[in-house]
Amino acid sequence: VGEETLRKLAWVVAMKALGEDKSQQLVLTSLHRARFCEAAAPHCGLGDRGVELFLVGLLSLVDALVGRPMDELLAELAVSADVRAALTGRSAPFGPVLCLAESWERGDWERVAALSASLGLPEAELPGLQGEAIAWASAALSV
């Protein structure tokens, strides 16, 4: 098992622990976003940054899970400037990928189309990426 896999596993375990007394839907959505963002990376020219995108998706709801502001939480975590920018302002390079995941969740298809086009990610790829992310998140939650 590689270092990245172990790191992701540790993050997943930590997220599940944070969500023990919260809605499991928040944890499931975080896991789903994490896997979707990671899987979208190569399609968006960010293939070498998939682990960071995984972290963006995973942490995207951590403020709701722990009941503290995102800025305050990020001050305590060692994350890259790009991860921080995505989580606080949905800024590039990672923010648009997270926005795409969030827009899909809301069914905002116009925004999905616009973001997908701007990222260079064909819309036809999205259902497969989403389906795989949902399956992975469900399996990860049940472990």
Could you read off the pLDDT of 67-120 as tens digits, one per residue? 899 999 999 988 999 999 999 999 999 999 999 999 999 999 999 999 999 999
Return the exposure string of 107-120: e unless at least 16 CB atoms fall within 10 Å of the residue's CB, then b. Answer: eeeeebeebbeebe
**Confidence grade of residue 140 (pLDDT, cut at 50, 70, 90):** confident
Give the model's confidence band at 19: pLDDT under 50 very low, under 70 low, under 90 confident, else very high. Answer: low
| Rounded CA separation 119/27 (Å) | 26
Rounded to 5°, the CA angle 42-123-141 comes to 65
Identify the helix (H) or strand (E) that includes residue 119: helix 109-119
Sign of CA dihedral 62, 67, 70, 72: negative
Instruction: With beta carbons less than 8 A apart as the criterion, state whether 130 and 104 touch.
Output: yes
Question: Structure pTM?
Answer: 0.89
